Structure 1
Amino acid sequence: MTIICYPACSTCKKAITFLDARNSEYIYRDIKKDRPGKEELREFLKKSNLPLKRFFNTSGQLYRSLNLKDRIQGMDEEEMLDLLSSDGMLVKRPLLVSDQFVLVGFREKEWESHLS
């Protein structure tokens, strides 16, 4: 598994603590230094079975400064993927990526069910 995080994110820190408490093996990836590319995000989208809008970090400063709350409704999938791949800070985190699934954001019960 790979966990894609931002080091200063408190939710990411909780997710790491959760994984460590279960002795889960994972690769840590800093989203600021190694952001997901467009095709990688497209794969994550397929594995997650979530709408693409769920991949946006709606509480982030960049999301707000770009006024995406209003703009995102008029975007198609390609435009959203281009935007998400342009800056890792637009992506909701953490992302937990395995061969079987992709989890977006940290919800303990959801992660527990996938890792059991």
Structure 2
Amino acid sequence: MTLTFYAYPKCGTCRKAKKWLEENNVDFTEIHIVEHPPSKQKLKELYEKSGLELKKFFNTSGKKYRELGLKDKLKDMTEDEMLELLASDGMLIKRPIVTDGKQVTVGFREKMFEEVWKL
């Protein structure tokens, strides 16, 4: 089975996650999240399979997030508006996002990866 790994090459967390996947011989296809951000429909699918709140898909430490003042705006946005915003700019998306089509993880914590992706 091959995982889909949405990442930003300059992101330190993404590099750690990629290294973990490689060291554990996990087969994956990497997608540059900024050059090829997931579509609104794809994000909706990932969000629904993740079991997380949609707010967890936002890169809250990102410059763009702060510039747009999303901390205050998100609570008044609909799910549809949030998905539209995420799909519009890969820099707004928390990364990496890893999926096998059934399960989805957002961000990287070694313990979480061991539990979910240790194949």
Classify the TM-score, shorter chain.
over 0.9
Shift of 1:35: 0.3
Match of 1:12 in 2: 14
Residue by residue over 1:32-77, the C-alpha shift from the partner in whole angstroms, topping out at 9 and shown as x without a partner, is 1110110000000111000000000000000000000011110010
Matches within 5 A, 1:102-113: 102-113=104-115
What TM-score, normalized to structure 1? 0.98
Shift of 1:99: 1.8
Which runs of 5 or more residues in structure 1 are unaligned?
A: none
- Measure, in 1, the Cα distance between the counterparts of 2:80 and 2:117: 31
Number of equivalenced pairs: 116
Shift of 1:97: 1.2
Which of 46, 64, 83 is matched with 2:85 structurally? Answer: 83
Instruction: Kindly indicate whether residue 100 of structure 2 is the aligned counterpart of residue 98 of structure 1.
Output: yes
- The Cα RMSD (Å) is 0.6
Percent of counterpart pairs with the same letter? 47
Which runs of 5 or more residues in structure 2 are unaligned?
A: none
Q: Which runs of 4+ in 1 moved over 4 A?
A: none
Match of 1:23 in 2: 25
Shift of 1:83: 0.4
